[in-house]
Structure 1
């Protein structure tokens, strides 16, 4: 089944953050966690992926997502569930999230990777 995403729900979830990425301003949408979101007859159903099945913040993300969706006009009931049948991968990150999560420069910007590492490694470090 194809991923269907209601744009109103998607926009509401842009204000919901994975606690690990809140300080970087990366929403669950930008993290690529939104798998499916539909509203039918006032009932919203949202499916999210987790970056890890061991995510300690899963309940926080799910409850904040549910609150955001329930607050939408016309939504009378909402459920937010985890999709276990599909794994999250970094390819799901938005371009902005990918850039904000980058710890090292873009490889294309580094002419000589070995020289870059050598220059950034503290003396006596390994």
Structure 2
């Protein structure tokens, strides 16, 4: 079982964004991409999950994560690895990210789904 990331690493990575979610203000932490951070002396090892193996921005995210961790006191080097033995799912999203990514209102807030969808599409009845 993977240990939770140290608080200092979570804080450092809370300002790192997947380019697809930057405009919504959803960090790699809120996306649930951060799997673990392990320190050995002054070397950090970060494990990330990706939402897709086809992510065109993976290299950018890896660089941004390494830069944020390397900027922390006591860290002299950082290795970031994408792990594939666990699939990313929407269960990993923070509550904040879930709210920001919700395209439809919570189902309990819409008593008549068909009428709501019709209104959103601009249907004339």
Report the TM range for the smaller structure's normalisation. Answer: over 0.9
Question: 1:63 is matched with which residue?
Answer: 63
Q: Which residue of 2 is the match for residue 13 of structure 1?
A: 13
Alignment check: 8 A CA contact 2:47 2:80 kept: yes
SS in 2 for 1:67: helix
Q: What is the alpha-carbon root mean square deviation over aligned residues?
A: 1.2
**TM-score, scaled relative to structure 2:** 0.94
Q: Which string of whole-angstrom CA distances, capped at 9 and with x for unpartnered residues, describes residues 65-94 of structure 1?
A: 000001110001110110111110001000
> Aligned residue for 2:50?
50
Q: Give the ranges of 4+ consecutive aligned residues of structure 1 lying more than 6 Å apart after TM superposition.
A: none
Shift of 1:3: 3.3
- Gaps in structure 1 of 5+ consecutive residues: none
Give the TM-score taking structure 1 as reference length.
0.93
1:24 alignment counterpart? 24
- Paired positions, count: 124
The structural deviation recorded for 1:29 is: 0.1
Mark the runs of 5 or more structure 2 residues left unpaired by the alignment: none
CA distance in 1, matches of 2:51, 2:110: 28
**Could you tell me how far 1:107 is from its partner in structure 2?**
1.0
